[in-house]
Amino acid sequence: MKPMKFISLSACVLALAACSTIDDMVDSVSSSMPTMGAQQSMAEEFIIQGNCPQTEIVTELSGYSKFAGDQVTDENQLISRAHMTGIEATCTSNERSMTVDMTLTFRGMSGPAGSGQSAHNYPFFVAITSPSGKILAKEIFSASMDFSTSPLVENYQETLRQVIPLSDPEDGKRHKILVGFQLDKAQLDYNRGILEQQKLMEEAAQKAAAASANQPVSLQNTGAQ
């Protein structure tokens, strides 16, 4: 398990005078904030699931695609791809801090241009945000997958722990923990293009279904005697 410890939120705001929002982070995914440490309380901990921070995979940053050269949109040049497929979290608290244990699930695949390249690393971040949506701290990790035994698909799990000092345990539920891949601009644009295509396809399917539902029903006269 990889530990992540953040200093108190009030001190964090002072340390980061120009805190980013999640929209800023999505548009500037290559930036990273400094790691910040904290002291763990030795007091007895208790489970308070109702006050756990919300956890969320950022949709635009949920996929990481590696392409050969600059052919970012050519699927024939795909080396490998990874997706974040799930996140589970539990939390415990004492009078000084909240500890959040998370399990992230990844699914990776090797692409047509991935021959001879079995080991891949996919950088991803975990960030904590304030109730107003400002990013207070962010840490970058790496998901490692090996396609040597299963060249097509690989499943991977990562366990992480965050210790968030809070004066009031109920403050935990008003914060968010965001996760996503650390992408460059080309990768982000690629993801946005895929999401836009999916949106257009869904809208077209909905329109087709609505048009079909509104068509008059033709009753055939069988001429029964």
Give the contacts of 25 (CB within 8 A, at least 6 positions apart).
31, 58, 127, 135, 138, 178
Q: pLDDT tens, position by position, for the chain (225 residues)?
A: 554 444 333 333 323 333 355 556 565 544 444 333 333 333 334 444 568 888 999 999 999 999 987 777 788 899 999 999 999 999 888 878 888 999 999 999 988 888 878 889 999 999 998 888 888 889 999 999 988 776 677 889 999 998 887 777 777 788 889 999 999 999 999 999 999 999 999 998 888 888 888 776 555 555 555
Of 80, 212, 97, 214, residue with least CA distance to 147 = 80
Cα 18 to Cα 45: distance, rounded to the nearest angstrom: 33
Query: 119 exposed, middle or buried (CB, 10 Å; 0-12, 13-18, 19+)?
Result: exposed
What pTM did the predictor assign?
A: 0.72
Mode of pairing for the β-strands spanning 135-146 and 97-110: unpaired
196 phi and psi angles, rounded to 5 deg? -65, -40
C-beta separation of 147 from 122 below 8 A: no
Cα 138 to Cα 195: distance, rounded to the nearest angstrom: 25
What per-residue confidence (pLDDT) applies to 24? 60
- What is the maximum alpha-carbon separation in the chain? 90
27: tokens are: 């548009």
